[in-house]
Structure 1
Amino acid sequence: MNSRGFRQQAGFACETCRKRKARCNRVRPQCGLCAEIGVACVVIDQRPQRGPKKGQLDEMRVRIAELEWQLGKQLGNQDPSAMSKSPPNPEHQRSGNTTGSTTPSIIPVPLEDHAHTSHPLNVPTLQTITPARSRASSIIFPTTSNHAATTASATVTTTMPTFLGAEHDTSLPALMDWQDIEMDSGMLADMGNMLQFDLEAGSPVRFLGGFKVTNLVLADLDQLYFDRLHDVLPMIHRRRYFSWADQEKPSPARTCLRSAMHTVAAAMSAQYHSLGDALYQETCQLLESQCMRTLSGCGSSDMSLFASTNNNPGPRPSIAGDKIPIELIQSWLLLAYYDVVRSGEHQAMVTAGRAFRLVQLARLYDVDESSGVEDMPSNPAGSDGDHSDQNIPYIIAEEKRRTFWLAFSFDRFLCSRNEWPLTLQEEAVRTRLPASEASFQNNQPTRVCFLSEAIAMSTSPQCYSSTMIPLSPFAECIVLAALHGRCMTHRRMSMLNTGTDEAQEFWTRHDQLTLAVEKRAQILAQSPSLKLVNRDPMVLFTYMLAQKSVIYLSGTLEMAFLQRQQQQVGDRQLFASSYKWRAERAAVEIVGLADLARSLGCFSMHPFIVDPLACAANFFIRSAQSTNARGPGSARSNSSSSSSINSRNSSNSSMSNNDGEVEKLLCLLRHLGHLNVLAQDYLCTVEAEYSTWCAGR
């Protein structure tokens, strides 16, 4: 029994851990949490006793009674017997106190005669009638001036109801009985504003865009971000963010990141939706000024940094990249996300371009060029389970990886619809794929392969999907985004090169991409994360992206058949029906996933999920148009009449099925259009094409 350890460790927890309600490992001179967030570790051994001091409650009751008597005398609405009474004697009130405590004397407050006025009670009036600057009185009537220590001249601009008859009854229930007060709507509104103050001392309250922004609102926006947006923007370490989020003066880059997180959280909230534009403007101003200061100090004038790198052999690292905070890049990416859902893809492309250039300057594409996660310790936790500061480099490196890959994927998704050229090229990437979310948040260093290795395994015929190790949902999304970028490049090259030699290269690329996409889709289907498809928006979007790539490759093949000559196509036409069948199966799979997407809600969905939905809808419309154009006459001339009737019935059944699938996809696009401007753009395009097809059949 004596060998049983104690749950409570010896000693006192530091002030930082007590404030954050975190478990302190009591390491001296600096505990693990303080070392992680980089603050001084302060330990207070002697603490005062809790609770009010002796006489504070009695003093507060006496002061309330004094104020009520003064108000009643000023307003003159009491009966003559009550008016003839003298004010309550503070010494008499304290004579019944058996505690024997001494309290400061109470100084009466002279009030001017304004009995003829009648105005609602407001906050400045209450803040000017405090008799003295004591702890008890400041609890009820907080003041902002420190010079009114003895007397205060106040102007009472209100008509108080007759509830002051029991001035000698100084108990709190008697003094706070409001049930018989007659109040109009104006007085209720003023009292509501009076009582809605932040309980934290010195907390800032500001108005932004007509919205009252308090610490409670900012905390709610933080929670909204991690509840609704972190799954699709998984680049911020939650514990590390909250370690500095409530600091009064964080670094300028962290201030920009916090403001950007609040901006996108407001965009995904019905309560704070109107606050988003004001936060967006404020964040843009912060980022513009901070980027100007950061980049202006990263020029060639810093000769000390040049001197420190001239002695080192090999390529010299970018001086500007060493000084660019990762929070600035994350902030621009979050604003680009906001532009996608609120402004459109053109403005999002401009904003994302700022992030892409900073990614290149910071050299986030070669985070693992020389050293990677294999140099990190395998056991991330200490003996008592608390994380020490040895894992800070891993957290920072993993945040850099996730920030780069989010920008990499964002580049592919933004350029998909309009076939824009890509900014972040795949050939220069020397950054490992991100680890799982659990490893990232729990500070558990994990080694993951490079993107080139994952794609090489996908394109190799000797490597089967059953033997490949599944990646995390975010890493799978990155691999599929890279494959989709290759599909876009493949289509552009097929439109430019139509010679005989280039035709063979086209078919080789097409077969490799088809094999890679199908393997990744099979890995997703066998992955345990597929069970979370109706709860995790990243898993849902990743699986949709795989199906969309299959449809995209089928469309590229159809365009190649139309452009190339018969001798260049050869016997490849025999495989056209199989590719189209794969695309049709992928489109049906997207419709099934769209039904599951409703359980997530429109606030949590990936912003680019509308792209696979619109792609599947366009495929059904084109397929129905081609079937309707061929008609029953497409049958051979020597076929019987019964086969023609069966062909006509099959055509009508196919068109009716396509109608139902398209309507399901359009319904989800309309649902997403309330929050996503990109969904509105896709909806207009698909509905116009759908209406044209319905009118012409």
Structure 2
Amino acid sequence: MYGRAEPRQQPGYACEECRKKKLRCDRQRPQCGACANAQIPCEVNDRRVPRGPKKGSIGALRSRIVALERRLSTSQADDNDTANGHELGLATESPSKEGISIQFPLVPDWDMSQQEQPLNGSIPLAWGPPATAPHSPLLFSELPVIPTIAASYPSPKQSPVSVGDVFISDLSKADLIQLYFDRVHPIAPIFNKSKTFGWINDASIISEPQQCLQYAMLTSATAFSSQFSGLQDAIYAKTRFMLDQLDLNGSDSPICHIEHLQAWILITFYEFAKTNYRRGWLSAGRVFRLVQFLKLYDLDSPRVLGTEGDDNAITLEEKRRTFWVAYCLDRFISVSEGSPMTLNEEVVFTRLPCPDDDFQRGLVQQEPFLAETMTSADMRPYAPLAECVILITICSRALTHKQIYTIETLYSNIPLDFTSRHDWLDGILTRRLNNLQVNYPSLTVAENPMIIYSYMIAYSAIMYLCRIIETLSISDQSQSLVWEYQDRGLWAAQEISRMAKEHEYLGYFRAHTFMPLPIYLSVVRLRTHLEVRKGDLEKDEMENVENSLHSSIEALQKLQSVNNLSSYYLQLL
């Protein structure tokens, strides 16, 4: 037989005297042999804590080791990227166009479901929350703790597990929401502040789409500040996970919440600015489909009696603004890429947004439709978002005009109605630009990034019309017309360069997310003008054009530290 036939020790506990002298106790009762020989009392403690580590401590230590290893590896990767000149996803030298997607930082990895978690809750951190924190109605205590691990984006079926949690205090959350309304809301004015704070502060009524929207607001706010840059990837990954979960959970439901669409809009703007162009473009497609699903393009069409919606004036105006922000996003991408628009202008039956000050006070006045405004000659002010909608529509029509001209020339030598269509676009653009200058003088727009961007869009439309004229065959009859439009295109490009330079005083953190687009178009126009008219320019005029060109390129270089779209367009130059 192998092994012991009898146990090495008798059952029971050793007495305290034997433990003290480190003797082997024979565990006899009522008195062991050692105590009997020494003629001393034999005391036994049968409530002694068992040996070994406490229950759950091994799992806690293992989880903490994994978290520290991940943090160390992430830190080393960041150091390597910095050494190679790719910090913040920006290269010191412009790589090839094929490597555009490589330059952007990866997003956090939430795939930690296989790791062992501590049984007694999360591991306490040295930088955790204070024991007591001041309470304020603007502080949001219902937001969960946000992890800060970073690697790759998870699939929708994976659940983010908090491994290395960083606590975001109520004050920081309030700071992010305030930052959102200071810097993000001016370029995407889709919320009524009173209504938004109402559901944010009431944890008992907040729904899952609203909680997702709250994270999207925090995510977009981090893109407009340097102090929260360390939390960008973690909050973004959490928001994307929640959005994907909403898509999966609601796949069989005919109901889609407006908060779901609003969260996707904010995340799309964030992705264009902070991840890469391809990811933002794909997310924009999701936005457009949700707009069509919710039929936001048909909010104000005549209804059959008894079928009016249940939305109040504030909710209906929020839906209008959500639609128009998505509409502008569609045009921004189309103008940038020369691609077809997804949201068709001809079927839009939603009124333009009312002035933001009235909207915030709950005074929603009825504005005209886009089609009415395009044909109206009234010199009246519109909301900054409405001005941007009108001008980006003209710019997109100029793009469509160029595409129609290209197609028509394939079927006939003389394009049909080209001149009348071109003159109509030129006239309406001139009228709208004059209206913008009357109601929002260019010298006083420095505090409104949407108006600044509207000016740039108007100048971009002028450059598009110039490009269309240049495609015409140059003859004795058309030479003067081509030169006239080239001079106007040059003036528009120089105006964009000037406004981009002046935007430095406002700060690029407050710049519109798509401001690099018109700056890029101005650089292309200035370069083209130098190439085409190089022999006809005087020395002083040549120097002015070159100075504007350098100023535009410099503005893109400065913007790339806060907006990856600038890096994208710099690589196209």
TM-score (norm 2): 0.70
Matched to 2:230, the amino acid is: S
Q: How far off is 1:571 after superposition?
A: 3.2
Matched to 1:485, the amino acid is: S
Unaligned residue ranges in structure 2 (runs of 5+):
1-123, 136-140, 150-165
Paired residue for 2:29?
A: none
In the alignment, which of 239, 243, 263 is matched to residue 198 of structure 2?
243
Paired residue for 2:473?
A: 561
Paired residue for 2:91?
A: none
Q: How far off is 1:573 after superposition?
A: 3.6
Q: How far off is 1:197 after superposition?
A: 3.6
Paired residue for 1:455?
A: 374
| Distance change >3 Å, CA 203–CA 442, structure 1 → 2 | closer
The 5 Å alignment of 1:269-288 reads 269-288=225-244
Whether the 8 Å CA contact 1:627–1:651 is kept in 2: the answer is: no
Paired residue for 2:180?
A: 225
Q: How far off is 1:204 after superposition?
A: 6.6
Whether the 8 Å CA contact 2:494–2:545 is kept in 1: the answer is: no
| Distance change >3 Å, CA 392–CA 356, structure 1 → 2 | closer
Paired residue for 1:492?
A: 403
The 5 Å alignment of 1:157-196 reads 193=127, 196=130
The 5 Å alignment of 1:419-498 reads 419-457=338-376, 463=377, 467-498=378-409
| 3-state secondary structure, aligned to 1:560 | coil
Paired residue for 1:517?
A: 429
Paired residue for 1:214?
A: 169
Q: How far off is 1:537 after superposition?
A: 0.3
Kindly indicate whether residue 511 of structure 2 is the aligned counterpart of residue 605 of structure 1: yes
Q: How far off is 1:528 after superposition?
A: 4.1
The 5 Å alignment of 1:642-653 reads 650-653=537-540
CA distance in 1, matches of 2:331, 2:129: 51
Q: How far off is 1:519 after superposition?
A: 0.9
CA distance in 2, matches of 1:611, 1:204: 35
Matched to 2:477, the amino acid is: D
In the alignment, which of 321, 324, 332 is matched to residue 264 of structure 2?
332
Q: How far off is 1:579 after superposition?
A: 1.4
Q: How far off is 1:505 after superposition?
A: 1.4
| 3-state secondary structure, aligned to 2:514 | helix
Q: How far off is 1:483 after superposition?
A: 1.0
| 3-state secondary structure, aligned to 1:427 | helix
CA RMSD, Structure 1 to Structure 2 (Å)? 2.6
CA distance in 2, matches of 1:682, 1:573: 32
| Distance change >3 Å, CA 366–CA 484, structure 1 → 2 | same
CA distance in 2, matches of 1:191, 1:656: 59
Q: How far off is 1:246 after superposition?
A: 2.4
Kindly indicate whether residue 490 of structure 2 is the aligned counterpart of residue 584 of structure 1: yes
Paired residue for 1:355?
A: 287
In the alignment, which of 617, 633, 638 is matched to residue 523 of structure 2?
617
Matched to 2:289, the amino acid is: R
Q: How far off is 1:252 after superposition?
A: 0.6
Per-residue CA deviation, residues 37-64 of structure 1 (Å, 9 max, x unaligned), is xxxxxxxxxxxxxxxxxxxxxxxxxxxx
Whether the 8 Å CA contact 2:128–2:167 is kept in 1: the answer is: no
CA distance in 2, matches of 1:203, 1:450: 40
TM-score (norm 1): 0.58
| 3-state secondary structure, aligned to 2:226 | coil
Matched to 1:235, the amino acid is: I
| 3-state secondary structure, aligned to 2:167 | strand
Name the structure, 1 or 2, with higher relative contact order (CA <8 Å, separation 6+): 2
Paired residue for 2:438?
A: 526
Whether the 8 Å CA contact 1:266–1:273 is kept in 2: the answer is: yes
Whether the 8 Å CA contact 1:431–1:450 is kept in 2: the answer is: yes
Whether the 8 Å CA contact 1:544–1:590 is kept in 2: the answer is: yes
Paired residue for 1:595?
A: 501
Per-residue CA deviation, residues 587-608 of structure 1 (Å, 9 max, x unaligned), is 2222221232112211110011
Per-residue CA deviation, residues 337-384 of structure 1 (Å, 9 max, x unaligned), is 011101232211110111111110110001001269xxx9xxxxxxxx
Matched to 2:258, the amino acid is: I
In the alignment, which of 316, 329, 335 is matched to residue 410 of structure 1?
329
Matched to 2:507, the amino acid is: G
Q: How far off is 1:218 after superposition?
A: 1.4
CA distance in 1, matches of 2:185, 2:197: 14
Whether the 8 Å CA contact 2:408–2:416 is kept in 1: the answer is: no
Identity between Structure 1 and Structure 2 (%): 30
CA distance in 2, matches of 1:538, 1:271: 24
Matched to 1:454, the amino acid is: T
The 5 Å alignment of 1:120-139 reads none
| 3-state secondary structure, aligned to 1:409 | helix
The 5 Å alignment of 1:38-49 reads none
Unaligned residue ranges in structure 1 (runs of 5+):
1-189, 299-322, 377-390, 458-462, 632-646, 687-697
Q: How far off is 1:205 after superposition?
A: 6.5
Whether the 8 Å CA contact 2:277–2:568 is kept in 1: the answer is: no
| Distance change >3 Å, CA 574–CA 219, structure 1 → 2 | same
Matched to 1:209, the amino acid is: T
Whether the 8 Å CA contact 1:368–1:432 is kept in 2: the answer is: yes
| Distance change >3 Å, CA 293–CA 663, structure 1 → 2 | same
CA distance in 2, matches of 1:266, 1:217: 11
Whether the 8 Å CA contact 1:419–1:488 is kept in 2: the answer is: yes
Kindly indicate whether residue 556 of structure 2 is the aligned counterpart of residue 669 of structure 1: yes
CA distance in 1, matches of 2:444, 2:540: 34
Paired residue for 2:3?
A: none
With 240-249 and 203-212 compared, the bigger mean Cα shift is at 203-212
Whether the 8 Å CA contact 2:486–2:529 is kept in 1: the answer is: no
| Distance change >3 Å, CA 248–CA 536, structure 1 → 2 | same
Q: How far off is 1:653 after superposition?
A: 3.0
Q: How far off is 1:414 after superposition?
A: 1.3
Whether the 8 Å CA contact 1:204–1:214 is kept in 2: the answer is: no
Whether the 8 Å CA contact 1:624–1:654 is kept in 2: the answer is: no
CA distance in 1, matches of 2:340, 2:143: 46
Per-residue CA deviation, residues 149-206 of structure 1 (Å, 9 max, x unaligned), is xxxxxxxxxxxxxxxxxxxxxxxxxxxxxxxxxxxxxxxxx99747734526987762
CA distance in 1, matches of 2:572, 2:468: 20
Paired residue for 1:401?
A: 320
| 3-state secondary structure, aligned to 1:608 | coil
Larger Rg: 1
In the alignment, which of 442, 452, 455 is matched to residue 543 of structure 1?
455
CA distance in 2, matches of 1:680, 1:423: 26
Matched to 2:525, the amino acid is: F
CA distance in 2, matches of 1:371, 1:533: 39
Whether the 8 Å CA contact 2:129–2:167 is kept in 1: the answer is: no
CA distance in 2, matches of 1:263, 1:521: 35
Q: How far off is 1:531 after superposition?
A: 5.3
With 251-260 and 584-593 compared, the bigger mean Cα shift is at 584-593
Paired residue for 1:657?
A: 544
Whether the 8 Å CA contact 2:391–2:454 is kept in 1: the answer is: yes
CA distance in 2, matches of 1:360, 1:203: 32
